[in-house]
Amino acid sequence: MNTESTENLIDPCQTGKVKADSNVSYTDYRFEKHNPSVVTTPGRNESTSTVPSDLDSVAAERERRVFGVNERFLNVLLLGVGFMFSVGALQTCGMAQTVILHSVQDDYFQGSSTMGYILLAIQNAAQAIAYFFSASLCAVIGPKLALVAGSICISLNIACYLRPFTATVYVGAVVVGLGSGVMWAVQGHFVSSNSRSRTVERNMALFWGLLQTSSILGSLFYFLMLRGSEEIEPHIRWTVISTLLGASIIGIFVFSLIRQPWFAKLPRQYTQLSECPAKPFGPKEALVRTIRLAMRRDMLLLIPHFFYIGFECTMWASVYSTSLGYTKAFGIIRQSLVGLNGVFLGLGEISASIALMLIQ
């Protein structure tokens, strides 16, 4: 093999092409296997070749470790723990926000029995808008900073319930809708980009299990705080909201520990099953691709299903739990039943996730 042929062996980060002037059969030491598939035609400057498609085992050996833990797995673990504290605090607060606001009646704020529903509608509308622009935002600031910014939005919204004012709770609903929308969009990318083809299901199950664990813990805390109280007194509200605010701040700190540059660009391909660095999206291209995805036929067919899921989630996440707190026939346990309801919801979701994982 001449020098020119040796220098022009396949570079996995190019397009799989080689330059040579004769047939080549060589040992690819990058993948520790013999590759006789590189065939060139005399008289041509370049020809195509086959690069080994299964790079998982080799790439895994080269992955970095942090304190003995695979860096990709550590990122998924940190993502799940961050969501457990941040989004878990938001879910607990959202479950009880209607009854909490209804209990505040003073010179600064007059809560109503339906204000929490209105705030939930505003939050979900803002979240839907955020989904369309989250890819463009991530293309500019990177996934890690987007997660931290979204978790800060959650903390600001929870803080509004320490001392409710009409203006702050409405603005907080918009802010948390935008922040949580960005976080959920980044979550899917982050799990897939830190997974191999053989680990993506395991990592998703780990993430979802950590998130739903927070629902159980947060709801159980709310149940214990309100047990035996027919009304939500100001000092109880302060204790509950302060604890949830502290949990959300811990989530911000956990997201900042993710092993990724603060301003890393959004990769062009979500699953990194090769060692070739993907060219990043620009914000304009990311927005265009998001709109094109939404207009695809299979996505349009899913719209009725999405509507149903939206109604169902609204029912179990807010309406049903609030109804328990408003039912005076339950007596002094009616407020604590809001939290107990969340505990059983979390148990059901975790059980369903485990069953689905076993089926797959």
Same-domain status, 44 and 115: no
Same-domain status, 116 and 7: no
Same-domain status, 118 and 4: no
User: In this predicted model, what pLDDT tens digit does every residue of 147-196 receive, in sequence order?
Assistant: 999 999 999 999 999 999 999 999 999 999 999 999 988 888 888 888 88
CA distance linking residue 99 with residue 226, whole number of Å = 12
The answer on pLDDT for 261 being more than 80 is: no
Candidates 66, 73, 70, 187; CA nearest to 135 is 187
- The pLDDT of residue 173 is 94
The answer on pLDDT for 253 being more than 90 is: yes
User: In this predicted model, what pLDDT tens digit does every residue of 263-293 receive, in sequence order?
Assistant: 555 444 433 433 334 455 566 676 677 677 7
Same-domain status, 155 and 296: yes
Given 34, 52, 70, the domain boundary residue is 52
- The pLDDT of residue 60 is 46
Same-domain status, 96 and 174: yes
Same-domain status, 34 and 166: no
Same-domain status, 47 and 165: no
As for how many domains the chain has, the answer is 2
User: In this predicted model, what pLDDT tens digit does every residue of 51-71 receive, in sequence order?
Assistant: 444 444 445 445 677 666 778
75 in Cβ contact with 194 (< 8 Å): yes
User: In this predicted model, what pLDDT tens digit does every residue of 92-146 receive, in sequence order?
Assistant: 888 888 888 988 888 888 888 888 889 989 998 999 888 888 777 877 888 888 8
87 in Cβ contact with 215 (< 8 Å): no
- The 10 Å Cβ neighbour count of residue 115 is 21
Given 28, 52, 76, the domain boundary residue is 52
Same-domain status, 134 and 22: no
Helices 166-193, 71-103: inter-axial angle, 10-degree rounding:
160
User: In this predicted model, what pLDDT tens digit does every residue of 212-236 receive, in sequence order?
Assistant: 888 888 889 889 888 877 778 888 8
- Cα 125 to chain centroid distance, Å, stands at 18
- The pLDDT of residue 246 is 94
Same-domain status, 27 and 106: no
Candidates 54, 49, 51, 60; CA nearest to 20 is 49
34 DSSP β-pair partners: 27
Same-domain status, 309 and 346: yes
SS3 string of 8-65? CCCCCCCCCEECCCCCCCEEECCCCEEECCCCCCCCCCCEECCCCCCCHHHHHHHCCE
CA distance linking residue 185 with residue 326, whole number of Å = 34
The answer on pLDDT for 26 being more than 60 is: no
Same-domain status, 212 and 169: yes
Same-domain status, 42 and 67: no
Per-residue pLDDT band at 205 (split at 50, 70, 90) = confident
DSSP string over 293-356: HHTSHHHHHHHHHHHHHHHHHHIIIIIHHHHHHH-GGGGGGHHHHHHHHHHHHHHHHHHHHHHH
Provide the domain limits for residue 16: 1-52
The answer on pLDDT for 31 being more than 80 is: no
What CATH number is associated with residue 229?
Answer: 1.20.1250.20
